[in-house]
Amino acid sequence: MPFINVKQLAGRTEEQKAEIARELTETYSRITGVKPENIWVAIEEVPRENWAIAGTTVAELDRQSQG
């Protein structure tokens, strides 16, 4: 049973997350032949203060870009 785990910054709408899950499921199924009902998708949202790029949190990068 395939398990697709998506980690992303928090802030997407419920509708966007549902579409992500549908699209990933459809694509995986089409490519591998696995039935959609056997594909699991988890979307984990990470707060901006818990995600870092080049050693700086995204929250800090946001503050820096605001001037």
Residue 46's CATH number: 3.30.429.10
pLDDT band per the 50, 70, 90 thresholds, residue 6: very high
Query: For 10-23, what is the mean pLDDT?
Result: 97
Domain count, the chain: 1
Q: Residue 28 belongs to what domain range?
A: 3-65
Token output for 29: 């199924």
Beta carbons of 22 and 59 less than 8 angstroms apart: no
Beta carbons of 6 and 41 less than 8 angstroms apart: yes
Token output for 34: 């696995």
Residue 12 has what pLDDT?
97
pLDDT in tens, 26-61: 999 999 999 999 999 999 999 999 999 999 999 999
Beta carbons of 5 and 44 less than 8 angstroms apart: yes
**Residues classed as catalytic:** 2
CB burial class (10 A; 0-12, 13-18, 19+) of residue 4?
middle
Residue 42 has what pLDDT?
98
Residue 67 has what pLDDT?
75
